[in-house]
Amino acid sequence: MPKLVVVERDYGAVAAKMAAVGPLMDTLGATTKGVTFTLDKEINYLRQKNGTVRGGPADGRPSLARDVDACEAILAMSGTTNGHLATQGFETLEKRTGVKLADLAAEHEGKRITFADTQGPPVPVITSPEWSGSEAGGRRYSPFTINVERLKPWHTLTGRMHFYLDHDWICELGEGLPVFRPPLSMSALFGEPKIGQTGEMGPGGELGVTVRYLTPHSKWSIHSEYQDNLFMLSLSRGGQTIWISKEDAAKVGIHDNDWMEAVNRNGVVVARAIVSHRMPEGTVYMHHAQDRLIDVPIAETSGQRGGIHNSLTRLMIKPSHLIGGYAQLCYAFNYLGPTGNQRDEVTMIRRRSQEVQY
């Protein structure tokens, strides 16, 4: 059972509180990956850097009134951009782990990267316990080098790399060691048609083909850059697309750049076809996170706006996903949740009316 804390909210004061660094930072510091950072110096620094709020619920706190203020606060409170904090964090970690670490950040202890620094050329970050790699001495980042080279214990029950998970539920599922699991049969589980089958779908009884539906990241978007600016759209197809093999396209009369509709039990997507021999028969993919605001028409099937790559996917949870509070099997945002099993989906796809409505 996780620890539950009652929080009282004064909703009229939320905006004022959001625009200032809160008081709990003074007493609790900030914790990430089990390392608590003391922030008293940083809070005082931010008072000087951003100015202090006068009056109201956040009286006396460092201001976060402007976007730049928020950036300064983030940069001041992260070890990767504040050498003092990185060293402090490693010293804390040295006490916990008994291995020497602080020297990794000591070369930059006095260094602080401000917002102005980030507006010039790219600035390398400082090695910090927030991450598992070392960039000390100008080396390039690689994950887990601190664990491997400095013998910092891994965040597991044994402190070692774990391949065997001796949790009762996992053992019961036969997954104590990594095992191959074939894709789920969507036809057996949810009554979807079998892969490779063609059949009538759509308002006019058009022929559709059932294919495996994958949503990989594209080569030029997510995390560091977006594909949906005018230049990048001019260098691609100018809207959302689904890649399909020539064999599947031929089965249902789809040509390159045709409007298609993909439908399964979860939803509908309208996109243009990219027919290529680069795709194997039986599989289509729709690149992750194309912009639904760009040239997405109304779907014939639903009468609604065409949908995005995730319109056809849904998370599926099995018992092992629900394990928590057990050493490395603890839930944290973005760190342990259901695995990407929703990326293993099937859909029926067909050529739709080329007269699209918006």
Partner 1 sequence: MRVMAQMAMVMNLDKCIGCHTCSVTCKQAWTNRSGTEYVWFNNVETRPGQGYPRGYEDQEKWKGGWTLNRRGRLALKGGGRLQKLATIFSNPKLPSISDYYEPWTYDYSTLTDAPAQKHTPVARPKSLITGKNINIAWSANWDDDLGGSIDHGHKDVMLKNIADKVKFEFEQTFMFYLPRICEHCLNPSCAASCPSGAIYKRAEDGIVLVDQDRCRGWRMCVSGCPYKKIYFNHKTGKAEKCTFCFPRIEVGLPTVCAETCVGRLRYIGLMLYDADKVLEAASTTDDHGLYEAQRGVFLDPNDPTVMREAEAAGIPRDWILAAQRSPIWALINTFKVALPLHPEYRTMPMVWYIPPLSPVVDIVRDTGHDAEDGENLFAAIEALRIPVEYLAELFTAGDTAPVDAVLRRLAAMRSYMREINMGRLADESLAAAVGMTGVEIQDMFRLLAIAKYDERYVIPPAHAEQAHSLEELATECSLDLEGGPGMGGSGPFGEGSGVPTPIAVENFQMLKDRQTSDSVVETDHRRGRTNLLNWDGKGKPPGLFPKSHDNKPKDDSAQSDSPGADS
Point out which residues bind partner 1 (CB under 8 A).
219-220, 225, 230-239, 241, 243, 245-246, 249, 255-257, 274-281, 292-298, 304-305, 358
Q: Among residues 150 and 237, whose Cβ is nearest to partner 1?
A: 237
Tokens for 195? 């892969």
Query: CA-to-CA distance for 140 and 149, rounded, in angstroms?
Result: 15
8 in Cβ contact with 102 (< 8 Å)? no
By beta-carbon proximity to partner 1, the closer residue of 276 and 328 is 276
Q: How far is the CB of 230 from partner 1 (least distance, A)?
A: 6
If you write DSSP's letter for every residue of 115-150 in order, what string do you get? Answer: HHHHHSS--PPPP-TTSS---GGGPPP-TTHHHHHH
Q: Shortest gap between Cβ of 94 and partner 1 (angstroms)? A: 31
The distance of closest approach from Cβ of residue 288 to partner 1 in the complex, given in angstroms and rounded to an integer, is 15
Which is it for strands 206-214 and 198-201: parallel, antiparallel or unpaired? antiparallel
SS3 155: coil
Q: Is 284 helix (H, G, I), strand (E, B) or coil?
A: strand
CA dihedral in degrees (170, 171, 172, 174; nearest 10)?
90
Q: How far is the CB of 213 from partner 1 (least distance, A)?
A: 18
| CB 46 to partner 1: min, Å | 32
Decide whether 10 or 225 has the Cβ nearer to partner 1: 225
CB of 186: closest distance to partner 1 in angstroms? 23
Residue with Cβ nearer partner 1 (187 or 302): 302
| 31 vs 234 by CB, closer to partner 1 | 234
Cα separation, 278 vs 56, in Å, equals 61
| Residue among 28, 27, 19 nearest 46 (CA) | 19
**Among residues 71 and 298, whose Cβ is nearest to partner 1?**
298
Cβ contact 301:263 at 8 Å: yes
